[in-house]
Chains A and B, each alone.
Chain A
Amino acid sequence: MKTISKLFFLAMIVASFAACKEDDPVHEHGEELITDVVITMTPSFGLPTTLTFSDPDGDGGNVPVIEGGTLYSQVNYTVDIELSNTSEDPAEDITHEIEHEAEEHQFFFSTSDGLNLEIDYADQDANGNPVGLSCTAIGLTSTGDLTVVLRHEPDKGADGVAGGDITNAGGETDIEIVFPITIE
């Protein structure tokens, strides 16, 4: 009985000691957050067009701002995609992270609502598969939506994936943005 009461006494001390501990949680920043996407479309002549997505406070809070753009018909464009996390100070360059893990990432482009725009990959990862940070594009007079998707860990070897067909790609979507586009 004595040992047991001692045990309980000890337990009470442990419990009350634990109850006294006061600490504050550490703030965790969403490290993998992508807040800004800038797609620069540079024509073979004339001024470049930029498509932007911006959601500086991340998911929730304020609604993201998406800006599409106007392109010239039948003009060759080079397309460069830049990603960053501006919630960090200084802003984090995510493009670099994607380049570093190029084998695990691929962009996919699709058009809808009558947009006539063709986008082709102009870069390769170490295995010779496309990534999509650099592309070429050409379009015909039309208006509609361009959907840009970034997949993490897609199966680049699956049927049609290297050609830009997302159907068999799998993986998970890190980015899916719809930009309104006019081609004139």
Chain B
Amino acid sequence: MLVSISPVLGQTVCGIKVIGKVVDEHDDVPLDYANIYVEELGTGVASDELGNFIINDLCPGEIHLAVSHLGCETRKYAIDLKGDTSIVLVLEHHEQLLSTITVNAHKNELDETNAQASISGNMLEQQRGNDLAEITRSIAGVNIIKTGVGVSTPVIHGLSGNRLTIVNNQNVQEGQLWSNEHAPEIDPSAAQKISVVKGAAAVKYGNRSMGGVLLIDSPELPMDHHTHGKVSIGFKSNNKATLLGGTLEGGFGHHSNWRWRLQANSKLAGDAQSPNYNLSNTGIRQYSGAFTTGRIGEKSVSKAIVSYYNAEFGILRGAHIGNLTDLQTAIERNEPFFTEGFSYQINNPKQAVQHFNAQAQHKQYFNEKSSLQAVYNFQLNVRKEFDIRRGNRSDIPSTSLNLQTHTLKVNYQLKHNKLFNLETGAVYKIQFNRNTPGTGVSPLIPYYNLMETSLYAIEKWEKGKVLLEAGIRYEYRDLLVKKFDDSDVLLEPSHRNHSFASNIGGAIKFTDDFTYRLNVGTAFRPPHVNELYSEGLHHVSASIEEGNADLKIEKGLKAIQTLTYSKGERFNYEISVYSQWITDYIYQQILPEPRLTIRGAFPVYVYQQADAHIWGIDFSGRTQLYERLHWEIKAATVRAKNLETGNWLPLMPADNISTGLNYAFNKLWKFKDFSLFANADYVFEQKRLDEDFEYAAAPSNYWLLHAGLSAKFIKNGKETAIYAQVNNITNKAYRSYTNRLRYFSDEQGIDFNISVNYKF
């Protein structure tokens, strides 16, 4: 077990002493400056350079220690005190026990050659109620593509959707993510940490990782066997959203190694408000829940998770149009058609999505050097989209998809030499996509069965200040599609591919302050079924989309180099420069002749392939101006070009820069932590456009201002945290280039947010 307690002297009066040491489990190295917080006292101590600490004046009974190290998430221990006690708190950082929150013993450890960034703790809590993509936007180089208010999908270095893997609790999220109009079916309220891998990570995460990887991690199961929990309530003024959330966790009795956690979250929002008008039918109803249980054994960790997500998103009523004339009329209007007063009602057009996830995993440590993990995961994704329809058909979804995925994964890790670390594994995935009959609409995404088998190996070599890494992945893929042709004959085309991805990287620490990382990786992406076989009208863009069954596998090579300068609290700067070449990049090419239909003429876009080049720079920095005053800045730029046509690739995020000040009071009135911040975001006008894709000029540049505070106080050992924030303080009317509904309406105006978390 991770905690060993031995009574030193029997005493029965108060004034009990706890003497302890915090060490790294792997090599017993003492961990300095770890914080050991006694919840019952509301105070804490820090370990010294040898990892030692002393807590005085304790009373007999149970106490809870929260141990954290170098900004990592807190881990709790419960101790039944009978007398003076000596205790060894072991922080485990190399292996990822029960979850992926790593307690980093050495902050400067060269664990990755890829550029990575993450959001957790206060930064994550502050964004409560925002959707997943919006939260990731606070990382330099990450942006979002939105469809109206509630539906947004993340973009890493210009790539999104099928070119980006989302890993939720170690499993690749399998949803209908082929369109920009689909948001990942994940409630970020349950997450404790959200990280972004910016380089090509196809070796480890598979064929959708060309643009990068988004990792979402739920909190680790508690060390404490007592029942604890968290309740949170939030409110957003702009769309009158109420947020409710609760977590309960504990163990199955005093001596059991089993732990459990129950999480539930809800969000109920009405119409959002732009500065000048109501955005009719943009409400959101979202419910999610998860149950996790697991056991930490001497040499093994087992875990099972069941989670459910249910959401309904209203799509701006004024954005539902019939043809190009309607679109042009909508663009010329200031206020969208169908603008009415505020309502919580969600009418058509709308999306209703359900996602069910079940997983079981087991990790066995054979000895100090090797471990084996096996994971089985099942995901069911049900998506229904409702349109404005004639003849009482509005209650019938016009799209009704059911996607089932089973994945079996085995991962073996071996430290086969002092310097070498091997990670190897296999993944077997089968997926079934079905259209639920009865929509009365020819489906955009046909029936398909998919099987993928992958093998991968990654070798890392680490010596002193140098880390080298090389990896390779092989994947076999078998896709069977069933669809009807124009003469109602059932066709059954199939696609079988063998693909390889590889990766090499290195990291070097020049001095204590400077670290340089370089990662070069290849990635591949087989064309998705919609790119091969879709055929139909896109309401939002008033265009006809046509698949191309002859598409080949897309292949990419991405090089990313990162220079980090880190001098304690004073300076933390990071710059990443990347360049990615994609051969046979799949894109939509407009046909010279529009298609005449009963609703008039429509532009036709056909999926084509051409070589493309994407490159850019991300920059982020934090400077300590004065003891408790910090200045932050981040900026990102991306360029993407079709090398054959010479055109810019559409929907690329515009250049942006964001800067802010943060002041943290040590203690203010009754608050333990109290901090204030103010931010300004500047987004440039996107001038690199492909005219074939734009129905109106890109929106002009804009400034947005935000400010907020976070405060925590402790009463009777229980922590209450308050987060308040005002977004778009000046109530600026603006439009964003990467919002697919930018032709129809402005973005949200001023928004007051408040949320309160109570931990018990």
Residues of A within 8 A of B (CB): 1, 3-4, 7-8, 11-12, 14-15, 18-19, 21, 23-32, 34-35, 37, 53, 55, 57, 59-61, 63-64, 97, 100-101, 104, 149, 151-153, 155, 167, 170-177
Say which residue of B360, B437, B537 sits within 8 Å of A59 (CB atoms).
B537
Q: Does B77 contact A (CB under 8 A)?
A: no
- Let me know if B484 and A27 touch, CB within 8 A: yes
Residues of B with C-beta under 8 A to A14? 378, 406
Q: How far in angstroms is the closest Cβ of chain A from B299? A: 10
Closest B residue to A97 by CB, please name it: B391
Residues of A with C-beta under 8 A to B374? 4, 8
- Let me know if B337 and A170 touch, CB within 8 A: yes
Determine which residue in A14, A35, A64, A172 has the highest number of CB atoms from chain B within 10 A of its CB, and name it.
Answer: A172
Q: Does B483 contact A (CB under 8 A)?
A: yes
CB 8 Å contact bits of B207-220 with A (1 = contact, 0 = none) = 00000000000000
Residues of B with C-beta under 8 A to A100? 391
Residues of B with C-beta under 8 A to A35? 598
- Let me know if B442 and A172 touch, CB within 8 A: no
Residues of B within 8 A of A (CB): 300, 302, 304, 318, 320-323, 325-326, 329, 337-338, 360, 362, 364, 374, 376, 378, 388-391, 393, 404, 406, 408, 430, 432, 434-435, 437, 439-443, 446-447, 451, 482-484, 486, 488, 490, 535, 537, 544, 595-600
- Let me know if A176 and B406 touch, CB within 8 A: no
Closest B residue to A177 by CB, please name it: B598
Say which residue of A1, A12, A152, A173 sits within 8 Å of B390 (CB atoms).
A152
Closest A residue to B404 by CB, please name it: A18
- Let me know if A53 and B440 touch, CB within 8 A: no
- Let me know if A172 and B430 touch, CB within 8 A: no
Determine which residue in A3, A4, A100 has the highest number of CB atoms from chain B within 10 A of its CB, and name it.
Answer: A4
Say which residue of A11, A32, A177 sits within 8 Å of B391 (CB atoms).
A32
A11 with B408: in contact, given A1-B362, A28-B439 (CB under 8 Å)? yes
- Let me know if B391 and A27 touch, CB within 8 A: no
Bound CA span A7–B302, Å: 11
Bound CA span A69–B405, Å: 57
Bound CA span A149–B598, Å: 10
- Let me know if B390 and A28 touch, CB within 8 A: no
- Let me know if B598 and A64 touch, CB within 8 A: yes
A-B contact pairs, 28 of them (CB 8 A): A1-B362, A4-B362, A7-B360, A15-B430, A18-B404, A18-B406, A18-B432, A25-B435, A25-B446, A25-B482, A28-B443, A29-B442, A31-B393, A32-B441, A35-B598, A37-B598, A57-B486, A59-B537, A97-B390, A151-B322, A155-B337, A155-B338, A167-B329, A171-B337, A172-B322, A173-B321, A176-B600, A177-B598
Bound CA span A35–B598, Å: 7
Residues of A with C-beta under 8 A to B322? 151-152, 171-174, 176
Residues of A with C-beta under 8 A to B329? 167, 170
Residues of B with C-beta under 8 A to A152? 322, 388, 390
Closest B residue to A151 by CB, please name it: B322
Bound CA span A46–B435, Å: 53
Residues of B with C-beta under 8 A to A26? 435, 437
Q: How far in angstroms is the closest Cβ of chain B from A31? A: 3
- Let me know if B437 and A32 touch, CB within 8 A: no
